[in-house]
Structure 1
Amino acid sequence: MKFSAAVWDHADGVRVEEVELLERHPRDVLVRIEASNVASSEASALLGPAPAPADLPPDLPPGLALPPLPLHILGHSAVGVVEEVGPSAEGVKVGDRVLMTGNNNCGVCHFCQRGRYDQCAAMALFGPATARTANGVDVHPLGYVGSLAEWAVVLDNLLVPVRTDLPADQLSLIGNPVCTGVGAALRTARIEPGSVVAVVGCGPVGLSYIQAARLALADQIIAIEPLAHRRAAALRMGATTVIDPAETDPVEAVCELSGDAGGVNQGRGADYVFDAANDASATEQAWAMTRSAGDLTLAGLDPRPGARVSFPMVQFSNFGKTIHSCQMGSLLMRRDLPWMVRLAERGQLDLASLAERTYPLKAVGEALRDVAECNVLGATVDPRL
């Protein structure tokens, strides 16, 4: 069986080409893609070939100098319909509408057994090859999914059956970025009612943080974002205050907004800070605006090789702050994604605004470019167009 897919090549970048399915494994499920999210992490492919080890900073710690990546199909969050099920696959059947996410949740590893599904040992950047190019080169699915394509072959436990009539473009965002933002706020950090929340970076993940903070009954939701259209979206989705960091020092502003005027709590900082800015300097600001004994949750990832953050040692040792790293919202996918669908059905999660533009598969390069340049709040690809 042949189909079109957005393939990333280490030397040439992204292209749409025809590939042929390989023989499937017993737990594999064949899914016809309805829509796939275009993630900012994948948009970085537009920056050109990944740096070779010789191009990396000389003081980069061992293990961070990645070798050339294999040929792979982009896309790790999508919605589709099950067309074929392997003989050992469980939990799905032909005809099911399913969400796809790159969080494995194997259930048996050291981390899953301790409730840290976000660190599942079975997760990997790429799954085994599922297709082959016309030149005979194996193609691997990104995050075991590879959904920027007409079809995807996915392990059964990466699929979440849902019963809903929500549009495909909106559903494709739930497996990421929505689950990352909502899960981080409600499962990782566990925002308490009446809290002061600050969100650094208001892309799709940041806007999901904001919506979850609203659902958690936060008293103040302060959004820090340099782009005007994203600040406007933050206000629509529940932010009580927006700050342009190009005009106002965000740390000073958050500390001023979060304290009692003239009282003992003056300038204390936010109770919960969420970083989704993908910039190391913004992460350092996020730390600085977190109050003593507050919670800082990180989902942003500076794509520059060797990017680092630094915090004053005395604050790191004595201020009692908790830092959470957040992979896919710390969620158990089959437990948590269905209730996010219900939130969207009830109008409590605005997915329509996040799915700002849908592109055909042949225009995936344009979609990636628009995401990389922040021209849209969110982008999806519908291979049926």
Structure 2
Amino acid sequence: MAVTIKDVAKLSNVAPSTVSRVIANNPRISEKTKIIVRAAMDELGYHPNFIARSLANQSTRVIGLVLPNSTDVFFQNPFFPTVFRGLSDGANERQYALQINTGNTDEEIFEGVIQMVQGGRVDGVILLYSRIEDKVLNYLRERNFPFVVIGKPFKDVELITYVDNDNYMASKEVTNYLLSLGHEQIGFIGGDLNFVVTVERLLGFEKALRDAGIRSNDDYIIHSQFLREGGREAIGKLMNLQDPPTALVVADDLIALGVLNTLSEMNISVPDDISILSFNNVLFAELSNPPLTSVEINIFEIGYQAAKSLIQILANPKVPVKRIIVPHELVKRHSCSHVSVVEL
């Protein structure tokens, strides 16, 4: 015979309603009571029927995740698995599951979102990116469907809850760091300009140069995919210039890895011949040769805060719009040094 909530309540010496509140992790229930009830659930082998609870509450207890690109990018770039872990932890705390939506084209991704929303498959959506123009975001706003953005929205910032770093300030700070090492010929390898993160980092980079009285060189600015191949292509173009840069700000560690590999093949030494500084501080930044100086953006925390913020909206649709800025920190390793002085 199946174990019921009443059986758990009897063993715990509490009301069945209290057991339900423990299952829902209601903050009004004391930790002592939660421990007692959960111990009784374990002893009896009771497992809550979340599907039945969801039907009763007209809730799926599922959060939809929308990726910016195909699954190839998701699995290749360590940013996404790391942010996914943060999202998973934030969702699991409140017994929410995650459903990933992706596709090979923007249109496939958009259609997938429509199916999730109109099919009642998810309670809310988290966008793992912020684009200059985005059909998905506009669609969610038009339907007044709960969502949170990872990344600063391009417009209507005050109307959308989002989680991000201060990418403008971070890029400005790291460019100033390279300037402090004596570099003036500084290049920038960014991601896709359709993404707000790329625009913000480029603006911060250019502002630091202007403040130092240095004109930005268009030949030193290249945009590529957030993949290792993008770094290989970009550095090839830069090092073939008649007067190549002595330092680079790279928008992503995976791009920077492609840069390092290509420079090694070209017998160009880092940091003796050129300094490299990148963003995200994923594991291989420390393990690369040389170890990369990189901006720690706390990827896990970004995901965790995004899930937490959406669940708060789902619990109370009138909760105020939030702007959550996760701190960043420059982690100095061995890919940057003072500019080499060429003796004439």
So what's the TM-score if we normalise by structure 2? 0.34
**Structure with the bigger percentage of strand:** 1
**Structure with the bigger percentage of helix:** 2
Structure number with larger C-alpha Rg: 2
So what's the TM-score if we normalise by structure 1? 0.32
